[in-house]
Structure formats: C-alpha cells, structure tokens
Amino acid sequence: MAKDRVYIFDTTLRDGEQVPGCQLNTIEKIEVAKALEELGVDVIEAGFPISSPGDFNSVIEISKAVTEPVICALTRAVKKDIEVAAESLKFAKRGRIHTGIGTSYYHIYHKLNSTPEEIIQRGAEAVRYAKSFVEDVEFYAEDAGRSDNKYLAQVVEAMIDAGATVINIPDTTGYTLPDEYGKKIKYLADHVSNIDKAILSTHCHNDLGMATANTMSGIINGARQVEVTINGIGERAGNTSLEEVVMIMKSRKHLNLTSNINPRKIYSTSRLVSTLMRMPVQPNKAIVGRNAFAHSSGIHQDGVLKRRENYEIINPKTVGITESSILLTARSGRAALKHRLGKLGYTFSKNALDKIYEDFVVLADSKKEIVDEDLKILAGAKERDIKRNLHLDKLQVLCGKGTSPVATVSIIWEGEIHTATSQGNGPVDASINAVKMILNKKVRIEEFLIQAITRGSDDMGKVHMQVENKSVLYYGFSASTDIVTASVEAFIDAMSQIV
C-alpha cells in the first residue's frame, strides 16, 4: 500500500526566529533556507514581512535563493499586511500567503474586541484578498487549540469557501492534550462539508511538552501538513520539532506515512541552526542532542556493542551522525574500554586489559568523562609499565602552607617492596628524594615538564622528565590526575632504565 505523504512546513525562520536573542541577518537566513531546501522541506515560512524591513527583505532574498520549496509569508487578517507579503513574494517561484485571525473566546473578546460572526467575515475577506495576489493561500485559526470545535468548523468552512487551500489549526498556547487535539482534527475532517478542497495542518507549541505528541495525534486523525521547526525552537517553550516528527514517521512503519525529508541531513541542519542562532541544543534532546545516541552505563554499552538495536531504535547514521558514542565513565565496563582502545589501535592481553581497567576506573572516579587523549596516556603508560622492573606502590605526602614537605614512598623493585621517607622543598622534591634514597643512585633531573591534557581542574596532568646519569639522558613519562604521583612515576619510569 502506498504511503500517505505528509507535507513538511518549516517555520524555523518565522516562529523559530521569534525567540529572543536568536535573530538572524539576511545572509544567515539564506544559509538556513538553503539547508532546509537540501533537507527536503515542502514549505519554508520565511518571515512576517510587515513586521520589519529586515523581515521583508529576507523573504525577498530567500525567494530568489531557494527554488524547490514553496516560500510562505505570514500576515494578520489585515489588508496592508497582505499587500506587503505579496510584494515580498514577487520573486518566489511558488509563493504562499499565510493569513489568519484568532478564533478562541479569549482572542475574539479579549484580544480582538470582536464577535464570532465578525471574525468569520474578517478572516474570509483576508483570504479573498490574499487570493487576489497568489493562488496558494493558507489560513490559520489562531488559538484553535482552545477554540470551540463547532465554531471552528464554521470558520474553516467559510475560509475554504473564500479560497484557502490549507487550513492551519494552531495549538497556539500548547494547551491541548494529544487526544483532544486529534479529536479536534477529526471533528473538522468529519464536519466541514468542503474539507476535501483543503489540507489540514498542525501547528503545535510545546508549553506543556506535548507539541510532538499533539502533532502526531493530528496526523493520525487526518492532518497532512505539519508546521515544525529545527530543534523545536520557537516562541516560549518552542514548536514541534521537525526531526522528531520525521523520525517518528520513519521509525513507526505501521503508520504508513512518509515525507520528502532526507533524514541524513537532519543532524547537519540542526547544528547549523543551533550555531547561527546561538541556541544550544539540550544534550538530551531527542534525535539531535549530544546524548541522543550516547551510551554510558556498562550494561547498555555491552548491549550496544553486541548488537546496536539492543538499545537503539534509530541508527544514528540515518540522521547523519557518524556513529553512536560510547561514553567512557566510571560506570563503563571492560567491553566498552576494550572497544575504544581497539579503535585507537591498542590490543592488550586479558591480564593487561584488567590492569588498564583498574587504572581507568580510578581515573574515571576523579574525572567525569574519559576522552581518547586520556586513554592513549593510560594505554601508553601501561605498555611502558608492563615492561618495567620498577613500580610505584604507594605515595604519601604531607605538604601545604606552613608545613615542611615530607614524603613516604614505597616502590616495588624486582618483586620486593622498599620504603623510604624524605623531606624536600616541595611535595615533588620530597618524593623524588625518597625514591633516590631507595635506589641509591646519583642522578640529575635535566628537564621536568607538567602539562594539563585537556581542561578543567579534574584534568590529568602529564609529566615529561629527562634524568641524567653518567652523562647519558633517560626519558620518563607519566600522567595522573594527581600531579605529584605523575611526577614520581615519570621519575621512576626514567630510573627503571638506569637501575
């Protein structure tokens, strides 16, 4: 059975752009519009031309730059708005005027100071006037979510009679429940006598977190156009997000719905909009959030590595994300660590992996997330450590302002534990003096470099050291979140080549 096509009306550049601080200049809007065209949206709502010369100009420039989607301009049910919108669409290959008026009790009496009859008359006049400029006219019944269904059916019938071919039923305040919104769409589909001449459109806001659920309920009950934004941006809590609706339709095949969207462009479009609008995407945002395909618990990581579908309903590649990420944290297991080390080119025996895992857990406890740089250091240090006959067993240091630093160090040297205590001008000096006492060697530190690996006070410090013995230089290296420990281990690393 052929799938039912749902038209994607993107309002990122109109409703989305109404977010405070997210305004784009014309060049940026053109960049977004081109990305939306590549994504495959059917309609781009490019602006509200009467609202500002900038918006007017943007609709003109987008109409010139983008040719595939219909370009839509928003108006109130006001003649001047419609004239300006028509003028802004003069270069559009296919232009649409989106006009409308409030139909709820609040809007009729407390915003427009009007009556239900007059609203129908004003709406129909606006539709007819818009129709005198363009063939494609969409009507919105503002606050339809809180409008009486019987009255709404009368409004819709009159607007279709006046020439509207798309009827938008906005849940302007994000108030309706999915079941109510679906019933509203079905009521209109069943009670408006000329509904076969128009497409019903959803336009849901997310004030109660139900925008996507309401939109889906609208589609299931007969709507065939959805008004959405990238990343769900928009007034207040935002609009329905394009990526969610598209991926629901794609994932739940029994709905038998399809759209023209190329899902592989979803992630790049999301990043573009987020960057240009300076509006970060929340990490747990469905489909495009940083954590949408990230697995952090050991059980989930093991499950995903065995078979992706165990914990993923969407292949991240489908939406243009190269792969699911296995976040290495203190909750990760050996399977995830082995997998990531493998990707970095390291293979270890089971015993060696167990040892790296011990260090990994200690490090992960003191650092929120382990990145590849940390792993390279851990793996590299372990490779060197495995080959050595000298290892640091314990280190205890007393230091701080007003105390003279003292360190007690225990070293395993050819299988035996040796301990010494020493003083110094700082914690590193005291510790290294203790190591020197144990090893009884006269050496000189030629170079000593401590560097943070990434950033943050929980970061690992890496230490490079050059130790001179009988005119020969020996190189030592280590890394730890404890820089005194890292310094002593780097010294031991160098000394292991001397003793």
Judged by the rule CB under 6 A, the positions of this chain that interact with ligand KIV are: 15, 140, 142, 168, 170, 172, 203, 205
Q: Give whichever of 15 and 302 is closer to ligand KIV, judged by the CB atom.
A: 15
Residue 75 contact, options ligand KIV, Zn ion, none, Cβ 5-8 Å cut-off depending on partner type: none
Q: Give whichever of 173 and 497 is closer to ligand KIV, judged by the CB atom.
A: 173
Q: How far is the CB of 170 from Zn ion (least distance, A)?
A: 6
Residue 103 contact, options Zn ion, ligand KIV, none, Cβ 5-8 Å cut-off depending on partner type: none
First-to-last alpha carbon distance for the chain, in angstroms, is 79
Q: Give the E-state strand segments of 234-363 in sequence order.
A: 257-258, 294-295, 325-326
Q: How far is the CB of 98 from ligand KIV (least distance, A)?
A: 7
Q: How far is the CB of 68 from ligand KIV (least distance, A)?
A: 23
Q: Give whichever of 102 and 263 is closer to ligand KIV, judged by the CB atom.
A: 102
Q: How far is the CB of 11 from ligand KIV (least distance, A)?
A: 7
Q: Give whichever of 100 and 476 is closer to ligand KIV, judged by the CB atom.
A: 100
120/367 Cα distance (integer angstroms) = 63
Binding site for Zn ion (CB under 5 A): 15
Residue 186 contact, options Zn ion, ligand KIV, none, Cβ 5-8 Å cut-off depending on partner type: none
Residue 285 contact, options ligand KIV, Zn ion, none, Cβ 5-8 Å cut-off depending on partner type: none
Residue 140 contact, options Zn ion, ligand KIV, none, Cβ 5-8 Å cut-off depending on partner type: ligand KIV
Q: Give whichever of 169 and 379 is closer to Zn ion, judged by the CB atom.
A: 169
Amino acid at 91: F
Residue 241 contact, options ligand KIV, Zn ion, none, Cβ 5-8 Å cut-off depending on partner type: none
The Cα-based distances of 35 to 66, 98, 230, 265 in angstroms read 10, 22, 11, 8
Q: Give whichever of 104 and 481 is closer to ligand KIV, judged by the CB atom.
A: 104
Closest CA to 38 of 58, 68, 9: 68
**Which residues contact residue 122 at a Cβ distance below 8 angstroms, ignoring those fewer than 6 apart?**
77, 101, 114
Closest CA to 226 of 203, 257, 251, 198: 203
Q: Give whichever of 205 and 295 is closer to ligand KIV, judged by the CB atom.
A: 205
Residue 214 contact, options Zn ion, ligand KIV, none, Cβ 5-8 Å cut-off depending on partner type: none
Residue 142 contact, options ligand KIV, Zn ion, none, Cβ 5-8 Å cut-off depending on partner type: ligand KIV
Q: How far is the CB of 367 from ligand KIV (least distance, A)?
A: 45
Q: Give whichever of 51 and 296 is closer to ligand KIV, judged by the CB atom.
A: 51
Burial 422-449 (b: 16+ CB within 10 A, else e): bebeebbbbbbbbbbebbeeebebeebe
Q: Give whichever of 15 and 302 is closer to Zn ion, judged by the CB atom.
A: 15
**Which residues contact residue 421 at a Cβ distance below 8 angstroms, ignoring those fewer than 6 apart?**
406, 407, 408, 409, 434
Amino acid at 33: A
- Residue 283: CB atoms within 10 A of its CB come to 10
Q: How far is the CB of 5 from Zn ion (least distance, A)?
A: 23
**C-alpha of 134 from chain center:** 38
Q: How far is the CB of 139 from ligand KIV (least distance, A)?
A: 10
The residue number whose beta carbon is nearest to Zn ion equals 15
- Residue 333: CB atoms within 10 A of its CB come to 16
174/475 Cα distance (integer angstroms) = 65
The answer to whether 444 touches 460, Cβ cutoff 8 Å, is: no
**Which residues contact residue 121 at a Cβ distance below 8 angstroms, ignoring those fewer than 6 apart?**
none
Q: Give whichever of 172 and 212 is closer to ligand KIV, judged by the CB atom.
A: 172
Residue 461 contact, options Zn ion, ligand KIV, none, Cβ 5-8 Å cut-off depending on partner type: none
Residue 431 contact, options Zn ion, ligand KIV, none, Cβ 5-8 Å cut-off depending on partner type: none
Q: Give whichever of 48 and 311 is closer to ligand KIV, judged by the CB atom.
A: 48
Q: How far is the CB of 233 from ligand KIV (least distance, A)?
A: 13
| Residue 395, helix vs strand vs coil | strand
Q: How far is the CB of 204 from ligand KIV (least distance, A)?
A: 8
The Cα-based distances of 123 to 84, 137, 155, 178, 358 in angstroms read 17, 12, 8, 27, 71
Residue 129 contact, options Zn ion, ligand KIV, none, Cβ 5-8 Å cut-off depending on partner type: none
Q: Where are the alpha helices (DSSP H) in 132-265?
A: 149-162, 178-191, 211-220, 242-251
Q: How far is the CB of 203 from ligand KIV (least distance, A)?
A: 5
Measured in degrees and rounded to the nearest 5, phi and psi for residue 475 equal -105, 130
Q: How far is the CB of 142 from ligand KIV (least distance, A)?
A: 5
Placement of tokens 């040892």 in the chain: 355
